[in-house]
Structure formats: structure tokens, C-alpha cells
Structure 1
């Protein structure tokens, strides 16, 4: 898998200058005719304006997986259900739970949403087949969001591409593992894979080429790019990658003792922690923000280790004779 550098300047612009004054982009007007039909159902979008005055077709708050709540907490994402009628896709979905959530940064465990921005939709069976950029946000795998208030399209959509920016689960809700098959871990990374599967299935109706997908990210988003490059689960879902800082060679990128970490997390929430099953059952009964708010307490001291929750290397169980 090659690392593309052709779009690196453009994607940096998305990260550093994605919004104006830190505010979400504002719809210049809405169009009842701005409707696309995905594999799951119809979506109504809105119209934004790029930095240079180009018209952007925006579809925000698009669900790419079922809500990871209840029994789906600490499990791989499940594909979204289909719907009838037309769903509005004119506003960001909620961000995933994180330690410093506040009123201006609303969060919910039901957070598996993505935003799609394009300047040319498929029409009458004709697809512009534009290159696609899928961006994974930064935030130490414990905070941040793919929302337009952080990663809007105003700069990059002056180029003829389709941009997808996605949420993924964070901290314990995204990575907690007991090192066995009770709490496997890597849920956040699997959310990213679910995004790529959604893109492969649906991006053509937004004018994108599913065979020309570049994944990009900075900080832990950049580390995610390298992990997707070596993961069999991501194979065939993208063509190029842009990693802006970080790699998988750093000591803190992979959790080496997940059970000890899981026991500590359980203890902080007054859960029994003798067995994996006890930990899982108790933590599934805790509130999402209750879990997210313990992140700082998981650290040995302030901001150390640099990252507490990270991906793990999953054990592959092979049956004899298989």
C-alpha cells in the first residue's frame, strides 16, 4: 500500500483551517431537492459554500453503524439498518463521549456518524468518479470529533474531491480489552473500518470513486493510517494513505497488558474485577459519560502515560484441524 503525498497540503489545510473562528459551517440555503439514495435509504442534505465561493453539497450526521449501546457496547460495530422515507442529513451527529464534554460539545454513546461533502453528485446514472478522502481525526484516541465545527469542508472542497470525516469511539468505550474473547478491544479501529465499508458501498451516489479512496489523519489519526495499512481487516477498502505524524513504531501505540488496564478501569467505577465476565457485565451497566470521565484517573500522573487507551494486537484463535 503506497503512501500518497499529492494531497498532503490539501489535507493539512483541512486539519489546520477547517473552520472559521471555530464555528461549524452555516448552510447558505437548504434544498428540498438535494436528496441522495444510499443503500440504506434516502438522505436530504444542505448547501454550504467553500472559501472561494464554490457550492458544496453537505450530508452531515449520516449513520454508518447501529448505536453501540446496551449489549453492543464493547463490541464491533453492526451495519446500520435501512429506513423508509427521507432522513435529514443537515446537521452534525453527536460526538462520542470524552472526558471534557460540555454544552457546546454535545456527546452521546450513539455517536457513529459521518459527514460527506461533495461538489458534484451522481445524476441520471452518470458518476463524476471523483477521488475520495476519508479523514480520521486526532485527539489521543480519547477526545475530539469528526464534526464540521472542527473539520469542515470550506477549504478542501475548492478541489474536485469528495471528503468524508467520521467519528469513532474513544478511550475505554473505544479500546477497553481484557485480552481475551470477552472484551476483545479495538472497537474504535473497527468503527473506522465500518466507515470505509460504508464508503465502498455508498460513495458513488455522492459523486465519489469507490476505487480511488485515500485515508488521511494527523496525530493518532495518522497512526490509524499505518494500522490500516497492515491490518487484514482493512484490505481492499482504500488505495492510498496520508499519515501526518505518528507511526506504529512508538512504544505507546499498542497496549501490551490490557487485562491490568481493564481491572484498573473497573475498580475506578466500583466494579468487581476478578474475571473478564465480571468486568464486562458491570461496565455495561455504567453510564457512558461516567466511564469517559474517569480517563484522567486512569493515568499514573497528569498526562502520563502519554496515551492510556490504544489499539491492541488481538489474539487469533485457530482450532485444530481448521
Structure 2
């Protein structure tokens, strides 16, 4: 085992042991700082000489099938790493900075993920979600910042659906973050001509019951998702928006008509992870959701000015509720308010 491989193993094992989701290498002129993303916080880990980092970067680029000689363009690659009895997919991304390249590694556990029951801070929000996924057609959207658990939630939903019944399920992902049994997973590869749009067209020819789109990024993908949901398919996807209501404005900016959305949308969930202490496992994170279900959406589309007074619970309301119930400390509550 060469020195770069040995160092890589130590860094990865430490990061996994700390339950880190990401590793950031930030190169300076003579040193490179390494940070870990743990429970949503970016925490300093250690400093290594930049000369050592260059050897480490070369090792990562070689093992993940990147172009070692290319330093002027961003690159992506994937490595499988085993620690103890668990396997992890490592998603690597380089970014040119000044005369060097920074490196970010996303750590994706491949063992069976959390169930839906383990994801939510408030059980009643889970009950709402379970009622949505009993529908045979329509559009369910999840939004939230990077690392908030959108894909984890989608995988958990698909797992719950497959346990109910044998559905023909197809996913379009960039990248595929975890292998799912009894699910047809399509890796988006724009260089090879496999875009979300072309993948959508091909998926519809496979008679799917459920289609999961990793992310609605542009107008054509949004329109395909809408058309599929209106033609008898259950479509699940994520979209970037600041909050649940902001999703509607985002969809409108992508060219979708509110009249079509009124027919297709089952619900919108905006996700935020908040840290809380557990007796058995210490600090963990669970999801709170801003929920727009059909009843709220219908009153919104009807332009009822009082649509959100009684039922719509914002993140501010939910954080106050978590603090009142003793799920989070006052310090955590104040930090989340900032």
C-alpha cells in the first residue's frame, strides 16, 4: 500500500467513524486544510502539506477514473470504499482554484438506509406523507438545501412503496447514490446523450407505475414530469426552492401553468434537518417539513387570502414546537433562528 493510499484510508476511516457526510480539501500555497461535514456543520479536521495533498489528489483521480493530467476543468469520479463490514460510494469532485485544485468527497453509505419512521421529528408529518404515496398518479415534490436529506427521503418513500406492492419503478438520477432492489435505476450521462428529458421518454416506454427524477433542473424536465403525472404515473422529484411556497413560484418560472399544477400536484414538502440529543445515540438529526398538501394547495390556487392561517406550519412554527416539546435545547433553537 503506497503512502497516498495509506493516508486516504486513515482520513476516510476517521470521517466515517465521525459520521461525516462530506470531506473538503482546501489547498493553500504551502498547506492544505481538511474539513468534515458532520451533522450539517463544517468542522476543521487537520492540516497536511500541500505537496502531500497533491499526491493524495493524484491517487484519488487515478482510482476514480478521472484524467490525472487535466487540472483546468472540474471533474467528477466515484470510488467504492469498504470499512469494517460496510460499503460506501465516494463521490469525488475537483474544482480548479488559482494554480491548484480543491477536492470534495461525498460519503454515501450503501447499507440499507433509514426507514420513513426514523426520518421525522414529528410522527404526524410522517402520517401526512404516507397518505400522499397511496396515490396512483400525480406529482410529489421535495425541496431543501444540499445535504438536507432530499434523496434519502425519496429512497425511503420508494422502499415503503415497494413493500406495499410490486410497482414498476424507474429512477433517473445524477448520480445514482444508492442501489435499490427491484427498481430500475438510470444514470444520467449527458455526454452519452442520456439527459433527464431523453431518460424520461425512454422510461415512459417501460410502462412505469412510479418515476423518480433526481432533480427538476430546467423547463423541459419540469414539463415532462408534469405530463407524466397527468397521464397516470406517480412522479417523485426534488427541486431547488427556499421553502414550500417558493416551489410554486419556481415551477411557474420554469414555464408550468398554474392550472396544470392544480390538477397534478399532490403535495410539496420542504425539508430542514435539526439536531437533537438522544439517550442511546447522542446527537442525531431529524427532519421537519413545511407541508403543502392538496387541501392547502386548493385554497391557495383559489386565491383564498386566509389559506395558511389554520393549517400551514412554517419552519419557524415547527422549530418553536420542537423547543416547546423539549426535542431541542434553547441554544440549538436560537442557532436555528439565525
TM-score (ref. length: structure 1): 0.25
Structure with bigger strand share is 2
Structure with bigger helix share is 2
Higher relative contact order (CA 8 A, sep 6+): 1
TM-score (ref. length: structure 2): 0.24
Q: Tell which structure's C-alpha radius of gyration is larger.
A: 2
